[in-house]
Amino acid sequence: MTFPLVQLGTSDLRVTPICLGTMTFGEQVNEADAHAILDRSLARGVNFIDTAEMYAVPAKAETCGATETIIGNWFAKNPGARNQLVLATKVAGPSRGMPWIRENSGMNGQDILAACDASLRRLQTDVIDLYQIHWPERHVPAFGMAYYDPSKEKSVTSIHEQLDALAQLVKAGKVRYVGLSNETPYGVHEFVRLAEQHGLPRVQTVQNPYCLLNRTYENALDETCHRLNVALLAYSPLAFGLLTGKYDEGGIDGPTAPQGAQGGRMSAYESMRKQRWGRPEALAAARRYNTLARDNGMTPTQMALAFCYTKWQVASTIIGVTSVAQLDADLDAWGTTLSPEVLAAIDAIRWDVRDPAL
């Protein structure tokens, strides 16, 4: 299978429309298995991998940075691999209850510079192809929050200062291009506006959730990114496993739920069941989409991934796996097409359930 290459924004980065997400490495996936997944992904033609300084997930002090370290060790074992891949990682925003990431309550320019140097050391590389701000320094609706509340604003670092720091990294040759994650239309516009006004690095990508259970990207951010030529990297296309069908029968926390880290992360980690993907409404909606897939001769995974793989809004879909078998299944879903009737049925369900995992 040969994947076409997609240009990210106005950059010269050309990536496969499927990106290997790695946040399971170091928690659900040990180093040996992670290296096997990386080997297989590269062998099958995926040239794009994404990680972050705060990974593995669920986030905790003892595994912060573990994923980058695992990838760096893989690069060391495979000297030619680094030049075959577009490598993306992320600097964490304000700590959000994770004081081990940094001492500051916000995220200033020095934090960005220090975090990048630490990522480069762990990744055992000289340059990061795409360096992203993991979540805004501002207080914005994200990770399950539905509304913007200005009374909770605690921002201490301007977007201009953040761009200045990113510019230093680009000038030093440590970063090639920059991007955002978990952003809003305002944030994308302001980053682009200030970059163009002051000759600073222009954001090329935004990495936001996008799947059948969360299509909030289509509520204005899609137009923003289209008009500003900012590429969407869609994360959680399978909604933390809800859209694979594995939880349809036993639920996520009952006695017959899939058990074990590979059986289902929602079952394995109580902290994840408390997030947006663990809402009862999200599972109820997933069951409806999964039934639609089966009724049309597809597995739930095939339909959910095909939805992202074929949408004009998506530049590259980030898949997270815990085994080579899962990786193969996700890659094999490439080429699945959804009929106009199936797409209409998907929209009909969405009209009824909206975005339960926003």
Quickly state the pLDDT bin for 147 (edges 50, 70, 90).
Answer: very high
CA torsion sign for 347, 348, 354, 358 is negative
pLDDT digits (tens, 9 = 90+) for 271-286: 668 788 889 999 999 9
Whether residue 257 is predicted with pLDDT greater than 80 in this model: the reply is: no
DSSP class of 25: B
Whether residue 262 is predicted with pLDDT greater than 60 in this model: the reply is: no
DSSP class of 199: T
161 alpha-carbon distance from chain centroid: 24
Complete domains list, the chain, with CATH: 6-246+302-338 (3.20.20.100)
Cis peptide before 340 (omega within 30 of 0): no
Quickly state the pLDDT bin for 266 (edges 50, 70, 90).
Answer: confident
Q: What integer pLDDT is reported at residue 22 of this predicted model?
A: 98
Q: What percent of the chain has pLDDT over 70?
A: 97
Query: Are residues 196 and 219 in contact, defined by beta-carbon separation less than 8 angstroms?
Result: no
Whether residue 299 is predicted with pLDDT greater than 70 in this model: the reply is: yes
pLDDT, the chain, mean: 94
Mean pLDDT in residue range 114-118: 97
Check if 177 is active-site.
Answer: no
Distances (CA, A) of 83 to 42, 68, 86, 173, 346: 11, 17, 8, 15, 40
1-5, 47-51, 167-171, 256-260: least confident range = 256-260
pLDDT digits (tens, 9 = 90+) for 77-100: 999 999 999 999 999 998 878 889
Q: What integer pLDDT is reported at residue 104 of this predicted model?
A: 67
Question: Which residue among the candidates 55, 177, 217, 289 is catalytic per the annotation?
Answer: 55
pLDDT digits (tens, 9 = 90+) for 315-347: 999 999 999 999 999 999 999 999 999 999 999
Beta-strand pair 48-50/231-235: unpaired
232 — phi, psi (to 5°)?
Answer: -85, 125
**Could you tell me which residue, 262 or 58, shows the higher pLDDT?**
58
Q: What integer pLDDT is reported at residue 211 of this predicted model?
A: 98
E strand spans, the chain: 6-7, 14-15, 18-21, 48-50, 86-91, 128-133, 175-181, 203-209, 231-235, 314-320
pLDDT digits (tens, 9 = 90+) for 36-59: 999 999 999 999 999 999 999 999
Whether residue 261 is predicted with pLDDT greater than 60 in this model: the reply is: no
Whether residue 263 is predicted with pLDDT greater than 70 in this model: the reply is: no
**Could you tell me which residue, 96 or 6, shows the higher pLDDT?**
6
pLDDT digits (tens, 9 = 90+) for 155-196: 889 999 999 999 999 999 999 999 999 999 999 999 999 999
Single pTM value for the model:
0.96
pLDDT digits (tens, 9 = 90+) for 188-204: 999 999 999 999 999 99
